Amino acid sequence: MKYLIIGFNSLTAKLVYRSNEITYLLTQCLQMVISILMWISIYHGTDRHTLNNMALSQMIQYLVITNLTAILFSASPIFRMANQVKSGQLTTILLRPISIYGEQITYYVGSQFPYLCINFGLLLIYSNQSLQSKLILITYLTLAFIMFFTTMLVIGTLSFWLINMWPLRSAVNACYLILGGLSFPLTFLGKGIYKWLQFNPFSLVADVPARMVTHLINDSTPYFIAVSSWLIITLLIYRILIKVGIKKNMKGLASNFEIFTLSMATQSTGILSISNY
């Protein structure tokens, strides 16, 4: 019940700031339109019906799906965790009978719930696949959603050691743009490069779902294995970093408390010595 309240509060906060979300959606749509227009001009300029075994209609479908999933898979857990560490809110969560991971993922699901509904709905309607294939797609996206959240949370735990996390926003956006396939399919980089990039976390949440919907993937088993492997690895890294980070944070709080106590004692001694006169 306590996690449902956290998720509901997160969703409510999301709906309160509707203008911010509308601006964000319009920005993403503009980026998608620019990518589509660019590829339309490339296809028309080359006078070819297919490029790298992809027709123009498939390319447009691919770009629409990758940009839709980019709305769903957000890097916000990085900066929420950083804010909680810097502001001391994480210490408050530790005093409550809830899991930090549980609190973070519930808040994330609540904040992304409208986009979850939009993405899942559009992907199911947009894909002309069998019911079994749609169920496989939903299962894959659910696993990918948890995996990407955990990956972002791992990056967020670095805030225990880094003073400023905001420069990472540009780095994450750049990785998403290049490694996720938001501007072009990763297969266009060549088989040699694609072989190494196809199983990266950004590709697994953008490029792979798009290729599943456009029937460019016949066997999704390797991608299920890759997503599950990344999820296990990131969970293990998170557990290690959060334990070490909290221990470091507690030491810092203890030392600050000692300094505060010492300063108060010094002030009290000073007041007593003055009163003696």
pLDDT digits (tens, 9 = 90+) for 20-55: 888 888 888 898 899 899 989 888 888 777 888 888
* Predicted confidence band of residue 105 (pLDDT cuts 50, 70, 90): very high
Is 128 contained in some domain? yes
Is 273 contained in some domain? no
The count of domains in the chain is: 1
Give the CA distances from residue 164 to residues 52, 90, 156, 161, in Å, rounded to whole numbers and listed in that order.
42, 17, 11, 9
Q: What is the pTM of this model?
A: 0.83
Is 81 contained in some domain? yes
Please tell me the predicted confidence (pLDDT) of residue 254: 46
pLDDT score of 263 more than 80: no
* Average pLDDT in the chain: 82
Please tell me the predicted confidence (pLDDT) of residue 8: 87
* Predicted confidence band of residue 277 (pLDDT cuts 50, 70, 90): very low
Can you give the residue range of the structural domain that contains 158?
2-254
pLDDT score of 65 more than 60: yes
Is 156 contained in some domain? yes
- Of 126-140, 159-173, 262-276, the range with the lowest mean pLDDT is 262-276
Is 160 contained in some domain? yes
Under 8 Å between Cβ of 175 and 202: yes
Is 110 contained in some domain? yes
Using left for φ > 0, alpha for ψ between -120 and 50, and beta otherwise, residue 74 falls in: beta
Please tell me the predicted confidence (pLDDT) of residue 240: 94
In total, the chain counts a number of residues equal to 277
Under 8 Å between Cβ of 90 and 84: yes
Give me the residues paired with residue 50 across strands.
55
- Of 56-60, 107-111, 267-271, the range with the lowest mean pLDDT is 267-271
pLDDT score of 245 more than 60: yes
Give buried/exposed letters for 148-160 (b at 16+ CB in 10 A, else e): bbbbbbbbbbbbb
- Of 158-172, 209-223, 235-249, 258-272, the range with the lowest mean pLDDT is 258-272
**For tokens 């980019």, what's the residue?**
70
Please tell me the predicted confidence (pLDDT) of residue 251: 63
DSSP type of residue 130 = -
Residue with the larger pLDDT of the pair 163 and 221: 221
Query: DSSP H helical segments within 88-166, as ranges?
Result: 89-95, 100-126, 131-156
Is 26 contained in some domain? yes
Is 75 contained in some domain? yes
Please tell me the predicted confidence (pLDDT) of residue 212: 86
